[in-house]
Amino acid sequence: MKKIKFVIVLIVGIVFFNSCDSRTTQDLEGVVTNPTYVKNIKPIMDAKCVSCHSQSGNADYPDLDTYQNVVDAQNGTNSSKLLCSLTSSSCTSDRMPKSDAPLSNSTITTISNWIANNCPEQ
Ligand code: HEC
């Protein structure tokens, strides 16, 4: 009997830990009303986008690894794609981040607030 209880506690523990683990720092912070690149946007890009979007040298596939590159992606001819790519696959062939869970609504709202505020760096 004791053994069964232990196993149940162990399983509940693993499920609990995994559910916490899959949350990003940004999820826990909630929506940031006045985000800056350095404080809020760079950590999101580094965690979720830069692994693919870095030094690609491909205009259809923007680098998102520096402030200037993210601003260029946002200001370029395909600017609407930066936000749009996060919520649907209608503007890119796959929803971003590609092959990963979607960003949380609060993270997407933070990015949207940053763009609405003209992409402040600091
Ligand atoms: C696993 C690799 C991978 C990750 C991670 C990833 N992307 Fe992409 N992204 C791609 C590829 C490949 C393309 C090229 C088009 C396609 O396949 O949809 C692309 C295309 C895009 C485009 C469209 C560019 C254009 O002009 O058509 C945007 C914007 C974009 N990604 C933003 C992001 C953002 C923002 C993140 C992080 C939240 C992200 N991506 C994470 C691989 C990735």
Q: Which of 81, 96, 106, 112 to mutate to test the pocket of ligand 1 (most atoms within 8 A of CB)?
A: 96
Cα-based angle 47, 119, 100 (whole degrees, multiple of 5): 25
The pLDDT, as a whole number, for residue 20 is 45
The pLDDT, as a whole number, for residue 88 is 81
3-class DSSP state of 43: helix
**Cα separation, 2 vs 68, whole angstroms:** 59
Question: What atom in ligand 1 is closest to the CA of residue 62?
Answer: 24
- How many Å lie between the centroid of ligand 1 and the Cα of residue 62? 8
Low-confidence residues of the chain: pLDDT under 70: 1-29, 56-60, 76-79
- How many Å lie between the centroid of ligand 1 and the Cα of residue 109? 18
Helix axes 80-87, 105-116, angle to 10 degrees: 170
- How many Å lie between the centroid of ligand 1 and the Cα of residue 48? 10
Compute CA distances 99 → 25, 27, 93, 103, 112, whole Å: 20, 19, 12, 12, 22
- Number of Cβ within 10 Å of residue 35's Cβ equals 23
